[in-house]
Amino acid sequence: MTTEFRVPSDVLDALRRYDRVLIAAHARPDGDAMGSCLALAWALRSIGIDAHVFNEDGVPGYLRFLSLPGPVLTSVDQLPCEPQLIVVLDCGDRARVGEALQPLMDRVPTVDIDHHLANPNFGTAANWVEPSASATGELVGLIAEALRAPLHGALGEALYVALSSDTGNFSYGNTTPGALRLAARLVEEGVDIASLREKLENNWSEAKLRLWGRLMGETRILESGKLAAALITRGLLAETGASREDSEGFVEQLRRLSGVRVALLLREDEKDGTLLTKASLRSSGDDNVRDTAARFGGGGHRNAAGATIHLDAEKSLDAMLPFIRSVWDKRL
């Protein structure tokens, strides 16, 4: 494939039509979600649009080196005024932006830009869902170019973070030629990728190091070596002094084990006094973990998916095992 995606005209029309735009992505944002939001905000501001970024969990600590076009809002009460348009990025459905924005989305036109297969096209003003795109950042990059926003400085750095995050630094099977060409254009515009990799990768806390050490030692090799599972209980986080953010990226390490077809990270959390577990699944090639996540109300991509289970980590593992087996046993 040598051609890139084309930005739909109704998406560009909607972005140009309004003076006040709110940009949001899923809660607990990863590099693609936050990088895409910041890049789009910079692009819209370059053409005179008052763009703000919202995320109920704010900017992850490991991404705080990125330059912001303004404060990232974490509450609707912080909005300077009601937006005329909401742009939702990297959300497989509108619920993933969190509860706080739902009333606003009921009355304000919405543009949905995403790369998740099961996205129902929930935008009321326009939708651009490209499941074959490597990252939402790939689509945002094309929008920035269509708006003639320069791909350097803060905008370019945010785009690079978005692209590299969802492609495993351009090594996963979802990496498209278009993503590589966009990265090349960023470099041509002066984006210092060596400096960005340094900031992205060499920023561990001691607590994260201790947590990963424990996880390495306690990882469970199950199903005759086809499944590697790591459980992060609230007790383990307390013992190591680590945060939930410190667990990000560990599931990818489990895929390095020879013979492992599914990597599973189960991290306990609490919401409104209720214990729950965040499940992250990874696979390679044709092994589909998205369907397993969907069994528990989650979703994602064929080789990277997640779900929330209202059980502790141990019981979540027991509940998921029969469905994980279906990844390699198609009779189940």
Model pLDDT for residues 67-88, shown as the tens digit of each residue: 999 999 999 999 999 999 999 9
Superfamily of structural domain 9-201: inorganic pyrophosphatase (n-terminal core) (3.90.1640.10)
Q: Say whether pTM exceeds 0.85.
A: yes
H or E segment to which residue 154 belongs = helix 153-166
Quick check: 44 and 113 in contact, CB under 8 A? no
CATH code of the domain occupying 206-325: 3.10.310.30
Q: Which two tokens stand for residue 134?
A: 């490597």
Q: Which of 311, 245, 308, 260 is nearest to 280 (CA)?
A: 308
Which residue from 237, 288, 240 is spatially nearest to 266, judged by alpha carbons? 237
What is the C-alpha separation between 212 and 267, in angstroms, rounded?
13
- Give the residue extent of every domain in the chain: 9-201, 206-325
Mind listing the pLDDT tens digit for each residue in 181-230? Answer: 999 999 999 999 999 999 999 989 999 999 999 999 999 999 999 999 99
Residue 266, φ and ψ in degrees, nearest 5: -120, 115
Mean of per-residue pLDDT scores for the chain: 94
Handedness of CA 259, 264, 265, 268 (dihedral sign): negative
Task: State which residues of the chain have pLDDT below 50.
Answer: 1-2, 331-332
Residue % of the chain over a pLDDT of 90: 90
